[in-house]
Amino acid sequence: MKKYLVGDLLREYFGDEVFNLIGELSKKRDYSEFKLAEALKMEVNETRNLLYRLHSLNLASFARKKDNKIGWYIYYWTFHDDLINDFLLRYKKSQLESLRERFLKEGKSDFYSCLNKCVRLDFDKACDFSFHCPECGELLGREAEGDEKRLGSEMIKINAEIGFLEGLQKKAAITQNPPATGGKSADASGNANKVKKERKDKNGNLF
Ligand SMILES: [Zn+2]
């Protein structure tokens, strides 16, 4: 499952249409938008709209070139797969932050009720009565924790996703700036191999 996590997160954020477009677009640089639309069996305008969405997030860029045969401009698009990890990390961190806020808010508005159904009190009131029913003296029980549990397990899941993405980021950083070791010429070729391998891994993770 972990193998497809980056792809899963992209699909989660963008939905199927953009996710499929990313899959095709990341096959090569300077992908003509006409060829891309053809490969995706979509209208060019529709394809362009999805591309602009990626562009607005700085995940894709284009170069405009005049086609001398047909006399108009064609846009050639490139997907920046090296920026995906950062992008997903920011997305997941903000998702976690809003969950955490909800968790705290809903935790604060806890309710406690009497087993005999005499009263229903918020946390402060229940505290005033030492968590005992002011009418019958029965111990007060905390109400439905279902939502809190759901939020809690959601947060655990997102935390794991963040951990995974941070792991990938570290791996990429090591590949880009390997720690210096002796033997310059041997090192250079070794690094080249590493970089190649990393790209393969990345694509493997992606799709
Ligand atoms: Zn009671």
Q: What is the pLDDT along the chain (207 residues), one digit of tens a residue?
A: 345 689 999 999 999 999 999 999 999 999 999 999 999 999 999 999 999 999 999 999 999 999 888 888 999 999 999 999 999 999 999 999 998 888 877 665 678 889 888 998 888 889 899 899 999 999 998 876 666 777 888 999 999 999 999 998 888 888 877 766 654 444 444 444 444 344 434 444 433
For domain 2-79, the CATH architecture is Orthogonal Bundle (1.10)
**Cα dist from 194 to 20, 177, 184, whole Å:** 28, 11, 15
Q: Greatest CA span in the chain, whole angstroms?
A: 90
Of 196, 161, 126, which is closest to residue 5 (Cα–Cα)? 161
Distance 108 CA to ligand 1 centre (A): 22
Distance 111 CA to ligand 1 centre (A): 14
d(CA 43, CA 35): 11
pLDDT of residue 64: 94
pLDDT of residue 104: 79
Q: Is 58 left (phi over 0), alpha (psi -120 to 50) or beta?
A: left
Domain ranges of the chain: 2-79, 88-176
Distance 132 CA to ligand 1 centre (A): 8
Distance 104 CA to ligand 1 centre (A): 28
What's the gap between Cα 119 and its chain centre?
A: 44
Distance 109 CA to ligand 1 centre (A): 20
Residue 37, class by beta-carbon neighbours within 10 Å (0-12 exposed, 13-18 middle, 19+ buried)? buried
Distance 133 CA to ligand 1 centre (A): 5
What's the gap between Cα 155 and its chain centre?
A: 13
pTM of the full structure:
0.65
pLDDT of residue 172: 82
